Amino acid sequence: MLYGNRLRTLSIATFVTMTAALALAFFYAPMDADQGFMQKIFYVHVPLAMVALGGFVFGGIAAIQHLRTRDPRWDLRSYVAIHLSLVLGAGVLITGAIWAKASWGHWWVWDEPTLVSFLIVFLLYATYQPMRFSIEDPERQSRYASVFAITAGAFVPLNFLAVRLAQAYTHPRVFATADGGLPPRMQLAFLVALAGMTLLYVTLWRYEMTSKNTSAQLRALRRRLAGDDAVAPAGRSAAPSLPTT
Amino acid sequence: VIAIISGIVLAATTAVLPDNVGYVAAAYLVFFALVLIYLVIMASKLARFERETAELLELVDRRDHLPDGAERPREEAAAR
């Protein structure tokens, strides 16, 4: 499978949607009556969080496929999805801390369930790559990593539910709240921002997959041209390697 | 000149921009910095692929120009 096929279209769509999202957030969405201008952080922080959590779940689904089919490509898809979600997760924590400082005067508030539960999910997934690296045998590594990805992936919706059920609502609710959620103009800006962030995630995921695929193809080509001796044995790595034959 | 221009820009923006603009700018900068770092990593990978492709092309060229029966340059490639 060639992952680079629709990269150009995806990249353009991402750029257009992200630009539209920024324009809508700053020039179309009204100023929040309570938080004022600082509420604009919402349009980057919340889509980042939702897409990061969605990426973790996608990593779990890809891991299920890997265990079902034993196809190493599914393991790679799961690995890249989790890796990207971790990067976005770091962004969520930093932007969240900035918002907390602006809003509450503290960089971190330990009794806020949204923050703490996201940190738990982030720390859980932060062990994924060291766990992979600790297992030398590639077959065992991919199998154990898939089990981890499925278990942790199932934890993500539970975490989301727990936060929704928590009493201390300090984060804005977007959908299905008693008072109707966001005003329509804010909701539109948020949905476009969410679409842009999703497209960004998909684009970066495909970039990474294209890169890993190209790397494997180059190794295969070198092996064919120069023989097995020309390809250095793959060292111990957390990243799964695609077969090069 | 830069200090004067910065002063004018700062004075103008302070008067026009709403409160907490620094926090909002910082949050968006964090996001764009993450994307930029990812692009830099991708760029370095692309440069590596270009180098490897050039090496393989060179290998093919050398193989094509060898006389019939001559040994293929596997040892040289293996040394890389």
ipTM surpassing 0.95: no
- Cβ pair A230:B49 closer than 8 A: no
Counting every residue, how long is chain B?
80
Distance CA A202, CA B10 (A): 38
With beta carbons less than 8 A apart as the criterion, state whether A193 and A51 touch: no
Residue partners of A176: CB distance under 8 A and separation at least 6 = none
Q: Mind listing the pLDDT tens digit for each residue in A122-175?
A: 999 999 999 999 998 889 999 999 999 999 999 888 877 877 776 555 555 555
CA of B41: which chain A residue's CA is closest?
A: A208
- Cβ pair A98:B30 closer than 8 A: yes
Contacts of B18 in chain A (CB under 8 A): 31, 36-37
Contacts of A221 in chain B (CB under 8 A): 56
- Cβ pair B27:A99 closer than 8 A: yes
Burial call B14-49: b when 16+ CB within 10 Å, e when fewer: eeeeeebeebbebbbebbeebeeebeeeeeebeeee
pLDDT recorded at residue A51: 96
Contacts of B80 in chain A (CB under 8 A): 230
* pLDDT over threshold 70, residue B71: no
With beta carbons less than 8 A apart as the criterion, state whether A47 and A193 touch: yes
Q: Mind listing the pLDDT tens digit for each residue in B8-47?
A: 766 666 666 667 788 999 999 999 999 999 999 999 999 9
Range 13-32 of B in CB contact (< 8 A) with A = 17-21, 23-24, 26-28, 30-31
pLDDT-flagged residues of chain A (< 70)? 1, 166-180, 229-234, 243-245
Residue partners of A221: CB distance under 8 A and separation at least 6 = B56
pLDDT recorded at residue A169: 52
E-strand stretches of chain A: none
CA distance A225 to chain B (A): 7
Interface residue of A37, A203, A204, A228 to substitute, partner B, most B CBs within 10 Å: A37
Query: Residue B80 corresponds to which tokens in the numbers above?
Result: 């890389």
- Cβ pair A225:B53 closer than 8 A: no
pLDDT recorded at residue A167: 56
Contacts of B56 in chain A (CB under 8 A): 218, 221-222, 225
What is residue A32's three-state secondary structure? strand
CA of A208: which chain B residue's CA is closest?
A: B42
- Indicate the residue of B20, B35, B80 with minimum beta-carbon distance to A37: B20
pLDDT recorded at residue A171: 56
